[in-house]
Amino acid sequence: MEISLRRSGLNRQSVFGYSCGRCLVCCRFKTIHLNPYEIARLSKNQGVSTTGFIDRFTTNGGTVLRSKEDGACVFLGAEGCGVHADRPLVCRLYPLGRHVDFLGVENFSLMECEEGCRGTFHERGTVEGYLEEQGAADFLRAADLYLNLLWSLLEVIKEQELEPSRYETVLDTVRAVAERPEGGHDLSWIDMDRALADYSTRSGATIPESLEERMRMHIKAVQTWAE
Protein backbone atom coordinates (compact mmCIF):
# COMPACT_ATOMS: atom_id res chain seq x y z
CA MET A 1 0.00 0.00 0.00
CA GLU A 2 1.28 3.45 -0.91
CA ILE A 3 1.58 5.69 2.18
CA SER A 4 0.93 9.33 1.42
CA LEU A 5 1.56 11.16 4.70
CA ARG A 6 1.56 14.95 4.67
CA ARG A 7 5.08 16.36 4.93
CA SER A 8 4.49 19.76 6.54
CA GLY A 9 1.91 21.79 8.43
CA LEU A 10 1.09 18.81 10.63
CA ASN A 11 -0.60 19.25 14.00
CA ARG A 12 -1.10 16.84 16.88
CA GLN A 13 -4.27 15.40 15.31
CA SER A 14 -2.64 14.74 11.93
CA VAL A 15 -2.38 11.15 10.76
CA PHE A 16 1.13 9.86 11.40
CA GLY A 17 2.82 6.62 12.38
CA TYR A 18 6.44 5.48 12.30
CA SER A 19 8.25 2.31 13.35
CA CYS A 20 12.00 2.63 13.75
CA GLY A 21 14.06 -0.20 12.25
CA ARG A 22 16.93 0.44 14.72
CA CYS A 23 19.59 0.66 12.02
CA LEU A 24 21.23 3.58 13.97
CA VAL A 25 22.02 5.53 10.79
CA CYS A 26 20.34 8.69 12.09
CA CYS A 27 22.65 8.96 15.12
CA ARG A 28 25.55 10.01 12.91
CA PHE A 29 26.60 13.34 11.42
CA LYS A 30 23.85 15.24 13.23
CA THR A 31 23.91 18.49 15.16
CA ILE A 32 21.93 17.73 18.30
CA HIS A 33 21.07 21.00 20.02
CA LEU A 34 20.47 20.88 23.77
CA ASN A 35 18.59 23.07 26.21
CA PRO A 36 19.34 23.25 29.96
CA TYR A 37 16.65 20.67 30.81
CA GLU A 38 18.06 18.15 28.34
CA ILE A 39 21.56 18.70 29.74
CA ALA A 40 20.24 18.18 33.26
CA ARG A 41 18.54 14.91 32.23
CA LEU A 42 21.66 13.65 30.47
CA SER A 43 24.01 14.72 33.26
CA LYS A 44 21.88 12.82 35.79
CA ASN A 45 21.97 9.81 33.49
CA GLN A 46 25.77 10.01 33.47
CA GLY A 47 26.07 10.73 37.21
CA VAL A 48 27.83 14.06 36.76
CA SER A 49 26.97 17.73 37.35
CA THR A 50 25.72 19.80 34.44
CA THR A 51 29.06 21.63 34.55
CA GLY A 52 30.96 18.34 34.23
CA PHE A 53 28.61 17.12 31.52
CA ILE A 54 29.06 20.27 29.43
CA ASP A 55 32.85 19.97 29.65
CA ARG A 56 32.88 16.33 28.72
CA PHE A 57 30.04 15.73 26.30
CA THR A 58 29.22 18.97 24.48
CA THR A 59 30.60 21.59 22.11
CA ASN A 60 29.57 25.13 21.16
CA GLY A 61 29.48 26.37 24.75
CA GLY A 62 27.33 23.46 25.88
CA THR A 63 24.62 23.82 23.27
CA VAL A 64 25.49 20.88 21.02
CA LEU A 65 26.08 17.20 21.83
CA ARG A 66 29.62 16.08 20.99
CA SER A 67 30.31 13.62 18.16
CA LYS A 68 33.04 11.01 17.90
CA GLU A 69 35.72 11.19 15.21
CA ASP A 70 33.69 8.96 12.90
CA GLY A 71 30.70 11.31 13.12
CA ALA A 72 28.69 9.12 15.50
CA CYS A 73 26.96 10.74 18.47
CA VAL A 74 29.07 10.50 21.62
CA PHE A 75 26.37 8.25 23.14
CA LEU A 76 25.96 5.87 20.24
CA GLY A 77 27.12 2.37 21.13
CA ALA A 78 26.97 -1.01 19.40
CA GLU A 79 23.55 -1.66 20.95
CA GLY A 80 22.13 1.77 20.13
CA CYS A 81 21.61 4.89 22.19
CA GLY A 82 23.47 4.71 25.49
CA VAL A 83 21.18 7.32 27.09
CA HIS A 84 17.87 6.17 25.61
CA ALA A 85 15.69 7.01 28.64
CA ASP A 86 17.06 10.56 28.73
CA ARG A 87 17.69 11.20 25.03
CA PRO A 88 17.03 14.75 23.81
CA LEU A 89 13.78 15.89 22.25
CA VAL A 90 15.01 15.96 18.64
CA CYS A 91 16.00 12.30 18.96
CA ARG A 92 12.50 11.49 20.27
CA LEU A 93 10.73 13.38 17.49
CA TYR A 94 12.75 12.09 14.53
CA PRO A 95 11.68 11.86 11.69
CA LEU A 96 9.36 14.67 12.74
CA GLY A 97 10.57 18.20 13.28
CA ARG A 98 8.67 20.61 15.58
CA HIS A 99 8.30 24.34 15.00
CA VAL A 100 6.82 26.89 17.43
CA ASP A 101 6.17 30.48 16.39
CA PHE A 102 6.24 33.66 18.46
CA LEU A 103 2.60 33.17 19.47
CA GLY A 104 3.30 29.65 20.70
CA VAL A 105 1.52 27.99 17.78
CA GLU A 106 3.11 24.66 17.04
CA ASN A 107 3.34 22.62 13.87
CA PHE A 108 5.31 19.59 12.78
CA SER A 109 7.01 18.59 9.55
CA LEU A 110 8.27 15.30 8.25
CA MET A 111 12.01 15.29 7.58
CA GLU A 112 13.70 13.54 4.72
CA CYS A 113 14.78 10.14 6.07
CA GLU A 114 18.40 9.04 6.03
CA GLU A 115 19.66 7.03 3.12
CA GLY A 116 19.42 3.41 4.24
CA CYS A 117 16.92 4.17 7.02
CA ARG A 118 15.00 0.97 7.76
CA GLY A 119 12.06 2.69 9.42
CA THR A 120 8.54 2.31 8.09
CA PHE A 121 5.65 4.75 7.98
CA HIS A 122 2.03 3.87 8.57
CA GLU A 123 -1.29 5.65 8.90
CA ARG A 124 -2.62 3.98 12.04
CA GLY A 125 -1.83 6.78 14.48
CA THR A 126 -1.54 10.49 15.01
CA VAL A 127 1.28 12.90 15.79
CA GLU A 128 -0.09 13.09 19.35
CA GLY A 129 0.15 9.31 19.72
CA TYR A 130 3.69 9.33 18.37
CA LEU A 131 4.72 11.97 20.94
CA GLU A 132 3.28 9.79 23.70
CA GLU A 133 5.09 6.70 22.38
CA GLN A 134 8.34 8.65 22.49
CA GLY A 135 7.82 9.93 26.05
CA ALA A 136 8.17 13.48 24.78
CA ALA A 137 5.80 15.34 27.17
CA ASP A 138 8.36 16.52 29.77
CA PHE A 139 10.76 17.54 27.00
CA LEU A 140 8.10 19.47 25.10
CA ARG A 141 7.10 21.34 28.25
CA ALA A 142 10.73 22.19 29.00
CA ALA A 143 11.37 23.32 25.41
CA ASP A 144 8.39 25.67 25.60
CA LEU A 145 9.41 27.09 28.97
CA TYR A 146 12.92 27.86 27.73
CA LEU A 147 11.55 29.30 24.50
CA ASN A 148 9.34 31.64 26.55
CA LEU A 149 12.40 32.60 28.58
CA LEU A 150 14.18 33.46 25.35
CA TRP A 151 11.27 35.60 24.16
CA SER A 152 11.24 37.50 27.45
CA LEU A 153 14.99 38.14 27.22
CA LEU A 154 14.61 39.32 23.65
CA GLU A 155 12.05 41.81 24.92
CA VAL A 156 14.64 43.10 27.40
CA ILE A 157 17.14 43.50 24.59
CA LYS A 158 14.55 45.37 22.53
CA GLU A 159 13.55 47.64 25.40
CA GLN A 160 17.14 48.46 26.19
CA GLU A 161 17.96 48.96 22.51
CA LEU A 162 20.95 46.65 22.66
CA GLU A 163 22.71 46.13 19.37
CA PRO A 164 20.79 43.29 17.62
CA SER A 165 23.61 42.18 15.32
CA ARG A 166 25.60 40.91 18.29
CA TYR A 167 22.94 38.45 19.30
CA GLU A 168 22.71 35.83 16.64
CA THR A 169 22.16 32.77 18.76
CA VAL A 170 20.16 31.96 21.86
CA LEU A 171 23.35 31.62 23.84
CA ASP A 172 24.67 34.99 22.64
CA THR A 173 21.37 36.57 23.54
CA VAL A 174 21.30 35.28 27.09
CA ARG A 175 24.96 36.03 27.62
CA ALA A 176 24.42 39.53 26.35
CA VAL A 177 21.77 40.08 28.98
CA ALA A 178 23.68 38.32 31.76
CA GLU A 179 26.99 40.00 31.14
CA ARG A 180 25.81 43.60 30.95
CA PRO A 181 27.96 45.64 33.35
CA GLU A 182 24.96 46.13 35.63
CA GLY A 183 24.12 42.39 35.47
CA GLY A 184 27.40 41.31 37.02
CA HIS A 185 27.04 37.62 36.07
CA ASP A 186 29.54 35.61 34.14
CA LEU A 187 27.57 32.44 33.63
CA SER A 188 26.50 30.29 30.78
CA TRP A 189 22.70 29.95 30.96
CA ILE A 190 23.00 26.39 29.69
CA ASP A 191 24.70 25.23 32.93
CA MET A 192 21.80 24.66 35.33
CA ASP A 193 23.82 23.54 38.38
CA ARG A 194 26.15 26.52 38.20
CA ALA A 195 23.31 29.00 37.67
CA LEU A 196 21.37 27.50 40.60
CA ALA A 197 24.41 27.66 42.91
CA ASP A 198 24.89 31.32 41.97
CA TYR A 199 21.19 32.08 42.48
CA SER A 200 21.13 30.27 45.82
CA THR A 201 24.15 32.22 47.08
CA ARG A 202 22.65 35.53 46.02
CA SER A 203 19.06 34.92 47.15
CA GLY A 204 19.43 32.42 49.99
CA ALA A 205 16.96 30.08 48.22
CA THR A 206 17.33 26.34 48.81
CA ILE A 207 18.02 24.39 45.64
CA PRO A 208 15.25 21.77 45.21
CA GLU A 209 15.81 18.08 44.49
CA SER A 210 13.32 17.44 41.71
CA LEU A 211 14.38 18.29 38.19
CA GLU A 212 11.05 19.94 37.42
CA GLU A 213 11.48 22.35 40.36
CA ARG A 214 15.16 22.90 39.59
CA MET A 215 14.24 23.81 36.03
CA ARG A 216 11.66 26.33 37.22
CA MET A 217 14.15 27.86 39.66
CA HIS A 218 16.75 27.97 36.88
CA ILE A 219 14.37 29.89 34.64
CA LYS A 220 13.66 32.31 37.49
CA ALA A 221 17.40 32.70 38.09
CA VAL A 222 18.11 33.54 34.45
CA GLN A 223 15.20 35.99 34.45
CA THR A 224 16.85 37.81 37.36
CA TRP A 225 19.94 38.31 35.20
CA ALA A 226 17.88 40.63 33.06
CA GLU A 227 16.50 42.73 35.93
| Residues in touch with ligand SF4 (CB under 6 A) | 20-27, 30, 32, 73, 75-76, 81, 83, 87-88, 91, 94, 113-114, 117-119
The nearest distance, CB 15 to ligand SF4, in angstroms, is 19
Cβ-based nearer residue to ligand SF4, 30 or 194: 30
Task: Yes or no: say if 61 and 175 are a contact pair by the CB < 8 Å rule.
Answer: no
Tell me how far CA of residue 48 lies from CA of 45, 55, 56, 124, 190, in angstroms. 8, 11, 10, 40, 15
Cβ-based nearer residue to ligand SF4, 116 or 181: 116
Q: Among the residues of 58-125, which ranges form H helices?
A: 89-93
The nearest distance, CB 138 to ligand SF4, in angstroms, is 16
Distance separating the N- and C-terminal Cα atoms of the chain: 58
The nearest distance, CB 67 to ligand SF4, in angstroms, is 9
Task: Yes or no: say if 5 and 124 are a contact pair by the CB < 8 Å rule.
Answer: no
Cβ-based nearer residue to ligand SF4, 17 or 183: 17
The nearest distance, CB 132 to ligand SF4, in angstroms, is 18
Residue whose C-alpha is closest to residue 146's, from 56, 40, 19: 40
